[in-house]
Structures are given as C-alpha cells and as structure tokens.
Structure 1
Amino acid sequence: MEYGNLLLSKVIDENNVQALTKYGITAKDLPTEGDRQTLRFITDYAEANRGQAPSYAVVTEECPTFIYTPQVGDSYEYMTKVIKEYSAKLQFMEIINPPTNAKGGDTRSLFEKKFEELDGNKFTDWLISEAERIKINTNTSSKVGTDIKADASSFLDEYRKRKSGESFKVWHSKFPAINEATGGYLSGNMYTWYGRPGRGKSIITSEEAIESAFQGANVLGWIMEMAKFEWMARAYSTISARSGIVSATIDGVDYEAGFENKALLMGRLSEDFEAGFEQFLATINEIVPGNITIRAADDVDFYSRGLKQLEADIIQTKADVVLVDPIYLMDYEANTSKVAGGDVANTSKKIRRLAGLTKTVIHIVTQAEEVRDDTDEEGNRELRPPKRAEIKKTKAVLEDAANTFGIDTLDGVGIIEIGKGRNGGEGMQVEVLYLPNIGIVREMETGMAAAAQFDF
C-alpha cells in the first residue's frame, strides 16, 4: 500500500497541511519522485494561499502520479511511522548500492568509496555518523518537550527514583567546603577546572576523581598530558596517604602520608618501603571500593581522542565520573559555525550533552593565561587563583559548566575558588594543604589550632 499517497490524501481531505510540519514529513522521506512532486506542490500551494490545501482535483491535474484516496481512516502518527521506517531503509540502500547515474565511470557505492579511502577507525566513525544521521532524520516522535502539568506524574516517579538512588547520584568532593557550597557533583553535569601552567590543576582534579572511586564510582580518566606510569604513581601516593600508610615530618609537623611520589617515579623506594608498597598494591581492591580506568598520553592505542571515542569509553567502562585532562588536547568537533573558537565551543556543548545522556559527572580541565599581578612589591609570588576572564581559548567550557573552579598552589598551600556556581557558592574559596609528593591534598582545618599548626 502506498502510504505517501494515503497521507497526502488525508492532508487534502482535512485541509491540514500543518500536519506535514508537525510530523516532520519532507520530500526526502517519500520513496518516488511522483510522491515528492505531489508533496512539493501541496506545500507550495499552501504557502501561496494562506495555509490552505489544494483540492484533490487540482492535485490530480497537476501531479499525474498522485492517486487520491478519500476518507483515509489511519492516523497521521501511524502513516508517518510507516513512511519514516521505509525511508530509513532507502537511505541505507543509497549508501550501500552503486549510484544509477554515476559520472566518470565510477560505479562504486558510497560505502565502497569510504571503505577504500579511510582507515578502519575513521571508516567506523563515518558509518556510525551516517547511521545517527539517518536515525535523526527518520525520528517519528511528534511530542515536543515536557508538559509540566500533564507530566507531573513522571516527575514524581523520577523524584522517588532519586530518593532511592536509582537514577540520580551525587558524588561528593574531597573538599567539604565545595560540598557545602554546591551540593557536590550531580550526575548529568559538566564541571570545569582551570589554572595557570604548573599550578596543580591536574593533581587537584585527579584527587576529585579518586575521591569518587572511594565512594564506589567507576571512574574514567582521559589523561592526555601525562604518561600512565606518572599518573599511577600519583594515584598510589594519594590512595596510600588516605590510609595513613606512611608517617612523614615536614617543618616539624607530623603527617599521616603516602608513599613518596618522586621515589615511585624514580624507582628509588627503600627496601622496607618497597616491600610495604607491594603489600599495599596486593590489597588495593579492599582499599578502593570503586574502579579507575585511565587512558594516558603514552598509550599506543589512544590515538582517537574525539567525542565518539569518549562516549564509547564511557559505555564500555560503565563510567559514573569522567576526567578529561586537558580538553584542548582532545580531537575537537568540526567548526560548523565558522567563527573563531567554534571548534572547542562545539566540542564543549557536546560534552555537556554527553554528560546528560550518560548520566555521568564530567570534569574538564583547561588552562588559564599567565599574569603579572600575582607577585608582591618584592617580586614574591602570591596565591591568586585565576578568574574566568583569564581562560585561554576555551571559554565555552565555562558557559556549559554547572560550576567552574580556579586553582592556584604555592609552597605547600593552595586555593580553589568557585568562579561560577549554578547552585550557589560563586566567589567562595577553599584553602588547601598541598603536599602532593607525599599524597596529601586536602582542605585546611579552620580555627586558631590550624593557623598555629601550618606555618609555611
């Protein structure tokens, strides 16, 4: 049965050209040139006649292939579904089958051309992209958005799921003041961290990722500026510090610390510490409830660093929390807007959507501009976390983030400043005890005792 003719007959009978727009029926959805000609004639006629549909007699006269069927009883929804499903098949056939009007004697199908031109990974990306394009083009949903009155019951269902922890998760920061100010990191959101080079942004964001693993999260880290051995050494240092495996005295102050990061990097642990480290690794499954998977700068199979690969990694690792460090080393999305910074802006928007789609927390790390006003009159550098205006080239990640955090560290201390707070806390600063070489990165204690204890 020719559903294109049936649908257009119903449109004519009911004088309802708007149905074509409501259900997204376009010429490319119809299988024959005759059907496409009829649709174009009806829409052109309506445009010239204040939205009115032509009579079936006029359409039959102007469009010879059109077969009018009166009083079509099938719904627009049903006919649209059938038409779109068949259209999806035809669009796939156009990719697979050779063109009938090939020029220059090239009879290869688009599938064959891409298969020969692209390497395996790029060909797979192209194929997935085409499938997604066809899926979007043949979507049959006629409902727009959410009606806050009609859909109140669905809100109540979601509320109950969140109450029981089924569909919604808050992953708490390692720094209590951030939890108090923002409520923690909410699944489905993107968070942006920034700092000047060498000021601790990678270490502090790694601490947040590891903290989520201590809460049972599956953590995925895209560590694009650091070798895996280097990141793992830092991770083992801070994880062991949380357990107080090692004692360290710095400036007369005793700390429960972790294995020394530099000693791990250089392979210079003493024999006693080396034995303790091996025992620590043997029990790490008992120490960390969650899982941490990283892809690092020196991984030979980490050559694709775009959004498609990130989504695939999230799905494969069943990630709850994701760390992208830094965003400017990703393979950016195409700059479709053709404006300066459009590539990173497009990437940022899609990361934000990806967080919502996968219900993950995604931490994004970027870099701030160097400044000259962070020194005193004698030339000594002072702690000054960067402002949002100092972000280098990737400003879009500020607009798309639920919260932004500026970072600075100096001589054993640090500051995290909330630069933007969707749920509050903007301008709030967290003072940090910053001794990463022995695995200690935590919020400073408050009060006179703490002031007397930390004399840097």
Structure 2
Amino acid sequence: MISEAERIKIGTSVLPKVGTDIKRDGDKFREEYARRKSGESFRVWKSKFNFINDRLGGYVSSNVYTVYGKSGRGKSVITLEEALEAACQGANVLIWAMEMGWFEVLVRIYVSLSARQGITTANMNGINLAAGFDSTELRYGKLSEEFEEAFATFVDSLNEFIPGNITVRGVDDDDFSNRSLKALESDILQTKADVVVVDPFYYLDYEKNTSKTTGGDAANTSMKLRRLAGRTKTVIFAITQADEGSEDKDDDGNRELKLPERNDVKKTSALLEDAYLLIGVDTDGEQGRGIIGLNKGRDGGEGLVGEIVYIPQVGIVREMETGMAAAAQFRGF
C-alpha cells in the first residue's frame, strides 16, 4: 500500500523543471544576453600584459586562474600586478597573503602603483623607464625627507588614482586564523570583491577528504574553490608552486629563463584541471627580465609566451615594447 501510494504520488505530482530547454527558454537566453551586454552578469578584467588581452580578452569572472612557478621566481609579483591592474579598472580586490605580512604586501602595492604614476625614473641599458619608490627604502623606513613628503602625497592621492579598492589579509593579522573556504567567501561578500588572490593555494585550510584518496583533501578544496568563483562571480587567482628542476646558463653565466611545464604543478594536480587558465612564470631580477606563458586555457592560448621587463624593486613589471614603440625608446641615444 505504501509503495503504491508513493508511485501514484510521483506520477501525479508536478515535478520541478529540469535544466534549460533550448526551444522553450529563448527568453531566458535573451535576458542573460542583455545582462552580459550591459556588464551586469559577468565582468572581464583586462590583464596588464597586452599579449594576454590580445589572445584571451582578459580575465573573466566566475573562473579560477592558476599562476605557478618555482620558488622565488616572481609568481606572487606577477599576480599582484594583475590584481592591481583590475583595481585600476574599478575592481574591488581581496588579497589573502598567507605567507607574507600585511606591511610587506603594502610595500609591494605602493611601489607598483607609484611606478604607474612615474614617481621616479630608472635607467636600464641606457633607457629611462618610469619607476616607483625603492622597495628597500620603503620597507626599512629609509626614504629621504624629500621622498617621504612625496610618499605622503602619493598615498593621499590613491582615492583619485584607483577607482576600485584593495583589501589585504596578511599572515601576521591577529584575526586571520581561519583560512577555510567559508572564511574566504565571508571576506568576499563583506568586501564585495570582484578579484581575489589566494597566495598560496596550499596554505588554505583544506576541505575534508571525502574521497579517502591520496591528495583528496587538496583536490576537494580546488573543486570547491572553482565553485566559489562561480557562486560569487569573482576572478580568483590561485598561486601554487612548480617542481624544482635543472637550470641552464648562457655563455655569460646568466640563468636561462624557462617556463614550468603543465606537469610541474606542485602540491595538487587538481588545480591544473580546475583552472580556467594555467599561467607559468619565470623571472630573474638580476637580468631585469622575465617570461609569462599560458600552458592551458579553456578558450585556447596554450603555448603563448610573452617577455617582460622585470625590476620589481622599483615597480617596473611590464611587457617588452616591440616595433615602433620599442624604437621610440632609443631615440636620442
């Protein structure tokens, strides 16, 4: 009797609609199209590096972008540059810096932003480049009196210079003990973040390993981070490390720059699969240069590599000029 009653109940109930019907839901599609056209449904934040914009158009909300490289090779610097670029476009940026103190992160931010304003100049191979405050002087309170005054003026002008906002969670913040995805979501909602930096991914409080497999806790966390990006409609940059490997030097003794391979993603391979785009980084501050490459993208771009000028001590992290723009730099020399 009970089973028969359940059968009748199921047969006569009005079941909820499943999915989207391509024939009947045309209005639904057109409404979403209109929202996207007006920028209400999703946002695209332009990269600081034009070669990425030219190929991919920028960073699309609701996606995770994985940035990786060997230890000390500039992955945090490059990711921060992309986050600051978004803030300059009006994005609210949230930075979870889980291995750097808040003061160090702000030093990097101020140096980079002041370079965008050309507070100072730096000479590279006879070429004067717009630069920012010296990070070492700023970090240790060694700015000259003149530059201290310039720095105060610069900080006071940030509201006019940056239409967005930047919120930093540093490893030494007293209230930053909970590093779970639930806490991250709470911070995203509170700051109304559009762009999020998780640095590094493997310092998150991992989700429970429900699969009972090796590395399942990291894989489960990666999957839920991807869902979090979709649910909050944010761009999330997840930074992770690449395996160390052999290094080659040229005839002058300079280390040859080399992008990590896809299978060099360390800590969890799930980040490789869950990421919308995999971004490899290798830089050398001694040479003043670096390379950025796309190793996997859902919309293509794999194999794309760009060379950059890399002098982060004074905020110079920018794409190499080519063609007429490059020739213009040499006029007068």
TM-score range, shorter chain: over 0.9
Structure 2: segments with no counterpart, 5+ residues? none
Query: Is the CA contact (8 Å cut-off) linking 1:172 and 1:185 kept in structure 2?
Result: yes
- 1:241 partner amino acid: A
> What residue number does 2:224 align with?
350
Compute the TM-score of the two structures, normalised by the length of structure 1.
0.69
Partner of residue 435 from structure 1, selected from 293, 297, 311: 311
Q: 2:129 aligns with which of 255, 259, 264?
A: 255
Extract unaligned runs of 5+ from structure 1.
1-7, 21-74, 78-140
**Partners of 1:374 and 1:384 within 8 A in 2:** no
Q: Which residue of the partner structure matches residue 186 of structure 1? A: 60
When the two structures are superposed, what TM-score results if normalisation uses the length of structure 2?
Answer: 0.93
Alignment match, 2:4: 12
State the AA in 2 paired with 1:12: E
Letter in 2 for 1:436: P
Alpha-carbon distance between aligned partners in 2 of 1:448 and 1:184, rounded to the nearest angstrom: 24
Offset of 1:341 from its aligned partner?
1.1
Paired residue secondary structure (2:238): strand
Q: Which has the higher helix share?
A: 1
Within-5 A mapping of 1:388-399: 388-399=262-273
- Alignment partner of 2:13 out of 76, 94, 109: 76
Task: Tell me which of 414, 422, 425 is aligned to 2:298.
Answer: 422
Q: Which residue of 1 aligns with 2:30?
A: 156
Q: What CA distance in whole angstroms lies between the structure 2 residues aligned with 1:275 and 1:266?
A: 16
Structure 2 CA distance for aligned equivalents of residues 394 and 378 of structure 1: 36
**Contact conserved, 1:195 with 1:201, CA < 8 A, in 2?**
yes
Q: Which amino acid aligns with 2:303?
A: G
Matched pairs, number: 328
> CA offsets per residue over residues 27-81 of structure 1, 9 Å max, x none?
xxxxxxxxxxxxxxxxxxxxxxxxxxxxxxxxxxxxxxxxxxxxxxxx635xxxx
Higher strand share: 2
> Structure 2: how far apart are the matches of 1:381 and 1:235?
28
- AA aligned to 2:226 is R
CA distance in 1: counterparts of 2:6 and 2:98, whole angstroms: 59
Deviation for aligned residue 1:225: 1.2
Is the aligned partner of 1:329 residue 2:203? yes
Identity %: 58
Distance in 2 separating the partners of 1:258 and 1:251: 18
Question: Is residue 193–residue 234 contact of structure 2 (8 Å, CA) maintained in 1?
Answer: yes
- 1:450 CA drift (Å): 3.0
| Equivalence for 2:39 | 165
- Distance between the aligned counterparts of 2:79 and 2:6, measured in 1? 60
Q: Write the distance in 1 (CA, Å) between the matches of 2:70 and 2:329.
A: 28
Is contact 2:240–2:267 with CA below 8 Å preserved after alignment?
no
Structure 1 vs Structure 2 CA RMSD: 2.1
Matches within 5 A, 1:380-419: 380-410=254-284, 411-419=287-295
2:102 to 228, 234, 254: 228
The letter for the 2-side match of 1:450 is A
Q: Distance in 2 between matches of 1:420 and 1:182?
A: 12
Match of 1:416, SS? strand
Question: Considering only CA atoms, is the larger Rg found in Structure 1 or Structure 2?
Answer: 1
2:84 and 2:58 map into 1 onto residues whose CA distance is 15
Letter matched to residue 433 of structure 1? V
**1:364 pairs with one of 238, 250, 265:** 238
Aligned residue in 2 for 1:113: none
In 1, are the aligned partners of 2:261 and 2:295 still within 8 Å (CA)? yes
Supply the distance in 2 between the matched residues of 1:449 and 1:285 (Cα, whole angstroms): 31
Instruction: Give the counterpart letter for 1:428 in structure 2.
Output: L
> In the TM superposition, what whole-angstrom CA distance separates every residue of 1:120-170 from its partner, at most 9, and x where no partner exists?
xxxxxxxxxxxxxxxxxxxxx833322222222111100001101111110
- Give CA deviations for 1:196-234 in whole Å, capped at 9, x if unaligned: 000000000000001000000010010111111111011
Contact residue 183 and residue 423 of structure 1 kept, 8 A: no
Taking a change above 3 Å as real, the CA distance of residues 374 and 193 of structure 1, as seen in their structure-2 partners, is farther
Question: Structure 2 counterpart of 1:429, which letter?
Answer: V
Letter in 2 for 1:76: S
Alpha carbons 1:191, 1:362 under 8 Å: kept: yes
